[in-house]
């Protein structure tokens, strides 16, 4: 089946530093990947839609300069949290849809838990 990986699975950083999270589709190509954020005991909130070869589309209220998204290839999207602060601590999850138009399922990565001290 379609597999999406994320790296790292867990990261702890100091306030003010930047953290990069990778999302890879391992056995399929994805034109579009999505980045979600999940606070403890809450649902997933879409942050942005990452499109290969073009700029990401951010949801209302998400700072594009703080959450930098790069979709460099059909199998890799990265989310960089710049100048991280404790309030950015959260569980970040990516998802991807296979390129084939007949496919309507998003496959989710295992998530990255970010803790900012």
Partner 1 sequence: AQSVTQLGSHVSVSEGALVLLRCNYSSSVPPYLFWYVQYPNQGLQLLLKYTTGATLVKGINGFEAEFKKSETSFHLTKPSAHMSDAAEYFCAVGKAAGNKLTFGGGTRVLVKP
**What is the dihedral sign for C-alpha 65, 57, 61, 109?**
negative
> What is the per-residue DSSP string for 87-100?
GG-EEEEEEE--SS
CA distances from 83 to 15, 93, 114 (A): 7, 20, 13
User: In the set 29, 72, 85, 110, which binds partner 1 (CB under 8 A)?
Assistant: 110
User: How many residues lie near partner 1 (CB under 8 A)?
Assistant: 28
CB-CB contact of 30 with 96 (8 Å): yes
Rounded Cα–Cα distance for residues 11 and 111 (Å): 11
Residue 29 binds partner 1, judged by CB under 8 A: no
Question: In the range 31-60, which residues lie near partner 1 by CB under 8 A?
Answer: 31-32, 34, 42-46, 49
User: In the set 21, 24, 109, 116, which binds partner 1 (CB under 8 A)?
Assistant: 109
Only one of the segments 14-22, 63-71, 77-85, 88-96 lies at the binding site for partner 1 (rule: CB under 8 A); that segment is 88-96
CB atoms within 10 A of CB 72: 11
Q: How far is the CB of 63 from partner 1 (least distance, A)?
A: 18
User: Which positions lie near partner 1, rule CB under 8 A?
Assistant: 4, 6, 31-32, 34, 42-46, 49, 91, 93, 95, 97-98, 101-111, 113
């Amino acid at each position: 089946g379609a597999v999406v990986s994320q790296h790292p699975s867990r990261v702890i950083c100091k306030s003010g530093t930047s953290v990069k999270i990778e999302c890879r589709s391992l056995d399929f190509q994805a034109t579009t990947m999505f980045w979600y954020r999940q606070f403890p005991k809450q649902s997933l909130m879409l942050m942005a839609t990452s499109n290969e070869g073009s700029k990401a589309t951010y949801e209302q209220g998400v700072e594009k300069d703080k959450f930098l998204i790069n979709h460099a290839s059909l199998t890799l999207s990265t989310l960089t949290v710049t100048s991280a602060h404790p309030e950015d601590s959260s569980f970040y999850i990516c998802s991807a849809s296979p390129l084939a138009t007949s496919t309507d399922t998003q496959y989710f990565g295992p998530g990255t838990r970010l803790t900012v001290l």
